């Protein structure tokens, strides 16, 4: 379960690089991701975790990827074209054949525009479909581009409807789940009953998903209740562990300073290695 959130994905990028470096990739049966977490999930399944982690300070912490000045020209602030073609097609090329052949099941979560409900995307059978799926899972009107057409529906960022797909994985039969968080739980609101205010819901009607996205940490409540309560009935007996960043580095979703971004990758890697040395993780 890979958390996203724009450039905050640098933390789980480091975590996945650590998992891969110590040989745990083959122990993962399926992986879920939304937003930048979808990019990381696909890279991990393809054996490209190190490249994905390196891309944050080397390629994504740049005006080519994030540029607030694009607001003035009505272009997306965050360029998914740079990620999909400049990085995955250039500086850190994605091994698409390895992704297609991977036994690991990659579940990209996106939010349907017509009802703002999250779903796992299907039809990812070739590189073009994967690129479209990755774009659909991260699209945010105004911020990261318009809704994406895929298999007869329009889709936006999966984290709008489901920041963490933990409940979905458990419903699908998962018995051991590892959640990689892109921010400390102390920074997130844990109340699962929090409601999105009326003005945000109204904004969603005109710009799908943008109003809900403005609620930030409030969207995580129901998911985090499963992470923080091992006896939660929604877990159906599944064993769940989470790795969160051990410290913050001043990162935001649109940070372009390579220093804090590189530090976030390092913190993520170190946090994963520290967690793996404890008794906190479930064993296969």
Selection from 276, 265, 278, 183 nearest residue 227 by Cα? 183
Question: Which residues of the chain form beta strands (DSSP E)?
Answer: 30-33, 105-112, 118-120, 148-150, 153-157, 176-180, 239-243
Q: Any residues with CB less than 8 A from the CB of 278 and at least 6 apart, and which? A: none
Determine contact, residues 154/141, Cβ cutoff 8 Å.
Answer: no
163-181 per-residue burial string, b: 16 or more CB within 10 A, e: under 16: bbbbbbbbeeebeebbbbb
Annotated catalytic residue 35: yes
**Residue tagged active-site, from 17, 35, 102, 204:** 35
Catalytic residue among 17, 20, 157, 204: 157
Residues forming the active site? 35, 157
């Amino acid at each position: 379960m890979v958390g996203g959130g724009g450039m905050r994905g640098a933390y789980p990028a480091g975590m996945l690089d650590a998992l891969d470096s110590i040989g745990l990739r083959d122990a993962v049966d399926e992986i879920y991701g939304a937003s930048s977490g979808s990019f990381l999930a696909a890279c991990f399944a393809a054996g490209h975790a190190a490249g994905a982690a390196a891309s944050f300070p080397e390629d994504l912490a740049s005006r080519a990827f994030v540029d607030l000045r694009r607001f003035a020209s009505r272009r997306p602030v965050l360029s998914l074209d740079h990620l999909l073609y400049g990085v995955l097609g250039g500086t850190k090329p994605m091994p698409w054949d390895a992704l297609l052949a991977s036994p690991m099941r990659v579940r990209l979560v996106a939010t349907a525009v017509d009802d703002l409900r999250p779903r796992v995307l299907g039809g990812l059978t070739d590189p073009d479909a994967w690129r479209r799926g990755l774009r659909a899972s991260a699209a945010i009107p105004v911020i990261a581009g318009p809704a994406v057409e895929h298999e007869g529906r329009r889709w936006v960022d999966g984290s709008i409807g489901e920041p963490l797909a933990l409940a979905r994985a458990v419903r699908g039969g998962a018995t051991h789940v590892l959640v990689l968080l892109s921010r400390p739980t102390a920074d997130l609101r844990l109340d699962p009953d929090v409601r999105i205010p009326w003005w945000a819901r109204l904004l969603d009607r005109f710009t799908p998903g943008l109003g809900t996205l403005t609620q930030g940490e409030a969207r995580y409540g129901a998911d985090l209740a499963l992470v923080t309560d091992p006896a939660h009935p929604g877990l159906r007996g599944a064993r769940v562990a989470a790795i969160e960043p051990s410290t913050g580095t001043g990162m935001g979703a649109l940070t372009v300073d390579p220093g804090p971004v590189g530090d976030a990758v390092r913190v993520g890697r170190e946090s994963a290695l520290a967690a793996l040395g404890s008794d906190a993780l479930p064993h296969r």
